[in-house]
Structure formats: structure tokens, C-alpha cells
A and B are shown apart, each in its own frame.
Chain A
Amino acid sequence: MPEPNAAALPREEAVLAAAKPAPAAPLARILGSFKLTLSLFALLGLFAALGTFIPQGEDSPRILQDYGPRFYQLALQLGLDHVYRSWWFIMVLAMMALNLIMVTWVRVPHVWRISREADAVLLKDPLVPKTAFTRVWESDLDPLEALDRARRGLQVEFPRLAQKDGPRSRLLVGERHYLSLWAAHIVHLGLLLLLAGGVVKILFGSSQPVAIPEGQQSPVPVEKVRIDPRIEWLRLGPLRLPLPLLYERYLGTAPFQVYLDHFSVRYYPGTVNPRLFRSDVKIIRGGQVQRAASIRVNSPLDMGGGLLLYQASWGYDGLYSAQFRVKLPGERDQLEIRAPYKQRVRLLNTGWELEVVDFYPDAGMAGPGQLVNESDDLNNPAIRVQFWRHGVKKTLTWFVYAMPDIQMAKVPGLKLYGETVDPTPFTVLDANLDPSVPFAAAGALLVLCGTFSAFYLFYRKAWVLVEPREGGGSRVTLAGFVRRNKFAFQRVFSRLGRAVDEALTSRDASLKG
């Protein structure tokens, strides 16, 4: 190692110049170029904006209405009706990813040199004896004593110091906010992870709606992946490129079913503003109820393995559930029944069961004893109920809510009393399998960490070089380096100078210059 001397202390330009990135290969230079970054920013912004003014996806027929047939044709040809899934938009994103990788590839060694090799640079550097952040003392103190005192001064701003010894000189190095030196690259890495998460979601994610009427159960569709090596042709505008694929996606089901116990819609009193949408469900696995849970907006049900069930929508599908009372033969009490359409209901321990097998919302008489449905409006509801006793069919009877006195059951003592007929709601859950969560979470954390450390932490470094003087005493040189926010660092450096000065001049230490 060459002998350090005061003349070799770094000026920031010298440090940065000495640590310049090594020349990259032409392709790497283009892909990692700053101009490409800026061009991609512009293209990405432009294309993204385009998609907000042109109706996308399911809304794309509105293009015809809003912009006319000629533009509609053009939009279809160019993929303007699905900008964010078009090949040219994906190409821009891919180029952005490539640019981020290449920028990192080219510049990381540069940052490494500034952070770790600057000391070596300063030891070799024949440049610049003085910088704005340099101060020199000529002291009568013994070099070891001067070093010890300077250490105390330097520790005011830099609690942790490293010492590097030359044959005659000694160097103290302190640095702070090291993280911020890497801030831009941390953000870039985070953005890459976010993009990777997007790719993972497209390739392996699944989002499938599950509509379940109240009182019924449904399997949960999930897109799955199986190994299937093959070649497919990818169309990139006019180009057709072979795309080797290793897997195939297919629509399977989750290993459980969901039973909708009840769907609730609540409104704020006296308003039509919804307060709550809630699906009370049971998870059925292997024919057994595994657990009961509620799913609300903003509160999905985590089924494990990355699969979540979200409350997506709801409605009425024209089904109804009938509410009525039954008096069974030989029983004194009436049983209150709420029977969803086409579901067998057990009547306590009486041995009786029933099922509403037909429902006419607007029943009319077509002839003696012959009912027909006249409309879908709920004007004159009638239900046809099948009764069983101990599993044996007993009677199939109509009951018209508006005519409770007419009992058509052929079992003596069996009577029905109508209460209400309610539309049966259905819920729409979104079964969402998202394997990109770890990528997105890590990416977002890195972007935040990088952004905040870039703005609120400033990498700063200071050196104290102690050299023996000819004829006794020592020369103490303080130097500082900061990448940004020089104005703030000037204050820090002044404090540092005062601290070192006080340390060197305290008690009986003699000082010249």
C-alpha cells in the first residue's frame, strides 16, 4: 500500500472520477442507458394515459359509441381496447425491467467503489490537496496521541470508526447512512420484484367468481397448473415467435365447497346507503362442516395456500324461500318452517321431511284443480310441497298463500299455514389465488425503504489522516465527503472541525497553524 499523505486526501470529484464505472459492452450500455430510462418513462406514461381515455375490456363497445366506427376498427387492430394487456405495453414493461437490471449491473460496482474503495482511492490519489471539506492542523502532539484525540473529535458525528495504518501514517474512517448510498438500487430492485410479482400473478394466479344462492353449496373453481411441455406461437404484432411452454393451466376446484348459510345486506337507518354486505358461510370438506365464517368487503376469508375468498357482489336470481307453518298429524304444535326452493328440510324428530319442489310467484287457475304460473312477478305465490315420513313419500300438495283455507294435502291432520315468501339472495365470492404476494410485499417494502432512505438519509463519510512531521509533532488532516445535500453537510463538517479542534487543543496540547 502506498504511503498516505495529506495531498492524497479526496476531493469528491476525485473520488467519483476514480470510481467511475468501468466501460460496459455496447449492448449493455444501450440497455442500461439513462436516455433509455427516460424514454421508457415517457412511453409508459403515454400508453398508461391512453388506456384511461379509451374504454377498456368489457367497456370497449363504448369506443364505437364515443369515437365512431373508423376509430373503433383502428382500436381493435392496435389493441387499444385492452391497452394494459397489449403486446406493445407489455414490451415497454419488459424493456423497463431490462433497463432496471442493466442500470443496476452497470452502476453497482461504481457505488461499491465509492463506499468501500474510496479509502484506497484516496491513498493513491495524487490529486487535489484541498477541498471544500478539508481542514489541516499542524500539532506538536505525538502522532499516536493526536490520533487518539482526533478519534474523540470524529466520534462526535461518526460513532463507529475504522482505522487503517500505513507504514508511517494512520487513517480513521467514519461513515453514516450507508444505506442511502444504495437507495436508488434498492428502489430498482423493489420495482423489479413488483414487475416479477405481476408476471407470477399472470402465469400462476387465479381469480374466479363463485355464485352461491342462500341455502346452497358450491364448489370453488381455481385455475391450476400442470406440467405439459410444448411449443406455442406468440404473436407480437406482425411477428410470430415460438414460445416453449412447460406447463398448462386448467380449471380445477378447491378441495372444499362453500355453503352459504345466510347473506345479509344492511342499510343505514332511513337511507338507501348500504352499511354491510356479509356472507355467512360454512366450509364443507369431505362432506363435513369444517368451519363457519363470515366474509365481508375488506375482510376476506383466508383458506390457506394463498387462496382467499372475497365478497365481490350479490343479487337475487329469481329464486325464493318460503316461510310457512306446518301442523303435522297427531301433533299439537305448529312447526315454523323456512324452506329454500328445492331443499329437503327435516322437521325436528318427528320423522317427517318436506321439500318445496315447485314455486309459482303468480299462480292462476287454468282449470279445476290445475294451477299455472302467469308471470314472474310476486303477485300470488303458491308452493308445491312434497312430504315424506320415515323416508317414504306421503303426499305432494299445492298451497296457495292467498287461499289458506284450501288445503289439498291428502294426509288427514296435515295442514299448512302461509307466512311469507322471500326472494333468495345469492352471493358472489371471488376465489382469488395469488402466488405473487411475497414478491409484491418484498418489492413494496424495498421501494419504500429505498425512497425514504434516498430522501431522508444522506450518505456521508469523513477521514482523519495523522502523519508524523519531520522533526517531531504531527499533521492532522480532516476531510469529508457527501453525495447530496452539501449545504447541510457544511454545517456537519463545521461541527466536526470544531470537535477535532477542541480535542487536539485541549489541556497541554500545543498547536501550530
Chain B
Amino acid sequence: MDTTSAASAFQNSLSQGLFIALLGVLAGSWSLYLAHVLTGKESYHRWARRVLWFAVVFNAAALAYRWVAAGHAPWANQYESATMVAFGVLVIFTYFEREARLPLLALLVLPAAMVAIAAANLLPEQYKMMEPLVPALQSYWLKIHVTCMLTSYGAFASTFALSLLYLIRVGAWTRRTTWVALGISSPLAGWFFGYVHQSVRSDFWNWLMTSLHLTELAAGDTAKAYAVCAAGGLAVGMLLAAALQALPAKLMESVPSAEVLDELNYRSVAIGFPLLTLGIILGAVWGHVAWGRYWGWDPKETWAFISWLVFAFFLHMRVFGGWSGRKIAWVGLIGAGSIVFTYWGVNFLLSGLHAYAKP
């Protein structure tokens, strides 16, 4: 290994190490929020907020380091974009934390940032490396367009959590809903995990399968692998559901009133929707500069447009259609689902011109 590549390997390790450390900081903040919700002690809340602020600064610093080390804005691949999504989630959430006391919301939103970083870290090593930019990405539009899109995703993470909290608050989300939702979504998530890790052959996958004495799965028996992953996802989902059922009713005491949640939900869309609109339009401008066309119905573009339609529906119904509260919260959840598919699903399940965002 020559000096340059040794330095590069060090920079890569340091950058990844910073994001793993960030995961730890976020876990710390989340635990403090949980302690506050369970005990009601104000000091836990104060510290949770301080640690959250530190996490925001830490995330910014980690991004800045990667930017300097890579020599370009660090959102050129799936790993880097995930770290930016996490930053967007945290920045928007801290705004809401300033507006209202929302410890229970933190318990739902912070995991979104943590999952984004953790999932990115599960990718194989070569997909986490700082790579120089291919010609298609050598443009200042990368900084502007991707920043807008990923920050809007961060805002919609709050929409997801606020919609869910609202439904729980007004009793529309029952225990049975939890069982059904987790019963359906967790095996699907497990299957998706299996698909991604079969596709990209991460070291983690191979290690996990070997550790579980399931080496034939690591070798590529996909049908079996998917079944195992789906079953694993289901088991985790059911455990989570059981844990949620066991949570004390005291948790609900820290939830703001339904009216406040409804208003904050609208505000989260009021932040995310203009950013999404701006991001889509700037992406179209970049498309014109790079490829000579504004719009090509590429899967990523199309799904961003579908998400835009869902939130346009949300706004029309709330402003003109007289919908609020429960119905709007369900639309918010659908919109958040659409964003998740736009960000993750399209990258892994569909192909297109945005393939460089693939792991």
C-alpha cells in the first residue's frame, strides 16, 4: 500500500468512525428522552436536548470532514446521502423541539436518523468509500439539488412521527393496529434487507450468516435467504409490538394536545413540501444541463413526483377540503411511506439514470 492509498484508507476509516460515533451519540440522546418520558424527570429532558444539539453539531462536523477529505460534497452515493438525510432529520426535529416540548416525538424521529446511518453502515466496504465524482456528478447542482431533496426527506420524517403520534393521541391507532402494521411491515422490511444484502454481498451479511451456521445462505440460496430474513423481520417486529404494548400509559401524558400535533404536522409538511418542490425543479434544471431534458420519467424522478402528488393532496385536503386531524394524519403516513420508497426502494428495486445513487 503506497502512502496515498494509506492516507485515503485512514480518511475513510475516520469518516466512517465519526458516523458510527454519531450513532452512539444519538442512541444516548434517545435513551435520555426515554428516561425522561418514563420517569418524568426534567433533568433527563434537558440533557437529552443538549445531547441532541451536540449530535447536530457532530453530524455537521462529520459531513464537513468527509467533504474536505473527499474533495466534494459528500452526497454522491447511498452511504453519503444517508448521512445527509440523518442531518436533515435532526435539524428539522430540533426546530420542532424548540417550538414545542416533544419528548415522545424524539423517540420516533431519532430512530429514523439512526436507521439511516446504521443501514448505510451495513453496506459493503467498497460502497462506503469516499470515491471521486464521476463526470455526471461534477456539477454545483449536486450540492443544491441533493441538499434540497435530502433535507425535505428529513422534514417528512417528522411528518411521519407527528402523524403517528396524532393517531395514537386520538385513539385511532389501536393496539391491534400496531400488531397488524408491524406484522405486515416487518417481514417486508426483513425481505428487503435480505434482498439488499444478497445483492451487494456485504461482509456483515456473510458474517451474520456464517455466525448463525447458515453458510449456504451467504453462498447465495436467495429463496431460503429471503424466507429467513422475512421470518427474522417478523420476529423482531412482533417483539417490538409486544414491547410497545407493555409501555406504560404514562407515556401518553407527555404527548401534546391533538390540536398542537395537527398544527405541527401541517408545519412539517410546510417545511418539507416547498423543499421537495424546489429539489424536484432544481433536479429538472440539472437534467437539462447534463442530459438536455428536464424530465425523463426516470424512476427516481417519477417517485419524487408521486410523493409530491401525495403531499399536494395532503395540502389541498387540509386547506380546501376541510380535512384535518385523523384523515390528514393517515395521508401524512402514506406520504412518508412514499418518501421512504423514493429514497430507498427506488435505489435498490428499480433501475434508472440515478443508478449512481445505488450502493
Contacts and interface: CB of A to CB of B under 8 A. Distances in A.
Contacts of B321: 34, 38
Contact of A274 (B135, B270, B299): B135
B63 to A, nearest CB: 22
A297 B273 contact: no
Chain B contact patch, size range:
35 or more
Contacts of B319: 484
Contact of A432 (B135, B138, B292, B305): B292
A270 B5 contact: yes
Contacts of B277: 447-448, 451
B284 A440 contact: yes
A46 to B, nearest CB: 9
A37 B312 CA distance: 11
B173 interface: no
A273 B131 contact: yes
A484 B138 CA distance: 42
A455 B302 contact: no
Contacts of B305: 48
A51 B132 contact: no
A51 B312 CA distance: 21
B294 interface: yes
Contacts of A437: 288
Interface string A23-57: 00000000000100110011011001101110010
A444 B277 CA distance: 9
Contact of B135 (A42, A53, A296): A296
Contacts of A444: 281, 284-285
A230 B358 CA distance: 49
Contacts of A430: 291-292
A126 interface: no
Interface string B97-138: 000000000000000000000000000000000011011101
A310 B135 contact: no
A38 B316 contact: yes
Contacts of B306: 45, 48-49
A487 B263 contact: yes
A65 interface: no
B320 interface: yes
B284 A48 contact: no
B294 A44 contact: no
B310 interface: yes
A411 interface: no
B68 interface: no
- Candidate in A207, A271, A444, A448 with the most chain B CB atoms within 10 angstroms: A444
A275 interface: yes
Given A45-B310, A207-B293, A274-B134, A52 B299 contact: yes
Contact of B132 (A197, A273, A456): A273
Contact of A308 (B138, B274, B292): B292
Interface in A93-128: none
B102 to A, nearest CB: 17
A42 B313 CA distance: 9
Contacts of A364: none
A36 to B, nearest CB: 12
A79 interface: no
- Candidate in A56, A197, A300 with the most chain B CB atoms within 10 angstroms: A300
A455 B273 contact: yes
A233 interface: no
Nearest to B281: A444
Contacts of B214: none
B289 interface: yes
B139 interface: yes
A430 to B, nearest CB: 5
A323 B190 CA distance: 59
Contact of B292 (A52, A207, A299): A207
A451 B274 contact: yes
Nearest to B276: A451
B309 interface: yes
B284 A298 contact: no
A452 B273 CA distance: 9
Contact of A275 (B135, B285, B312, B317): B135
B284 A52 contact: no
B286 to A, nearest CB: 8
10 contacts: A41-B313, A45-B309, A51-B297, A271-B132, A298-B138, A298-B139, A432-B293, A440-B284, A444-B281, A484-B319
Interface of A: 34, 37-38, 41-42, 44-45, 48-49, 51-53, 56, 83-84, 197-198, 207, 268, 270-271, 273-277, 296-300, 308, 310, 312, 430, 432, 434, 436-437, 440, 444, 447-448, 451-452, 455-456, 484, 487
7 closest Cβ contacts across the A-B interface?
A432-B292, A297-B135, A52-B299, A298-B139, A84-B297, A455-B270, A45-B309
Given A275-B135, A298-B136, 6 more contacts: A41-B313, A45-B309, A52-B299, A52-B302, A310-B290, A432-B292
Interface of B: 5, 131-132, 134-136, 138-139, 141, 263, 270, 273-274, 277-278, 281, 284-285, 288-295, 297, 299, 302-303, 305-306, 309-310, 312-313, 316-317, 319-321, 346, 350
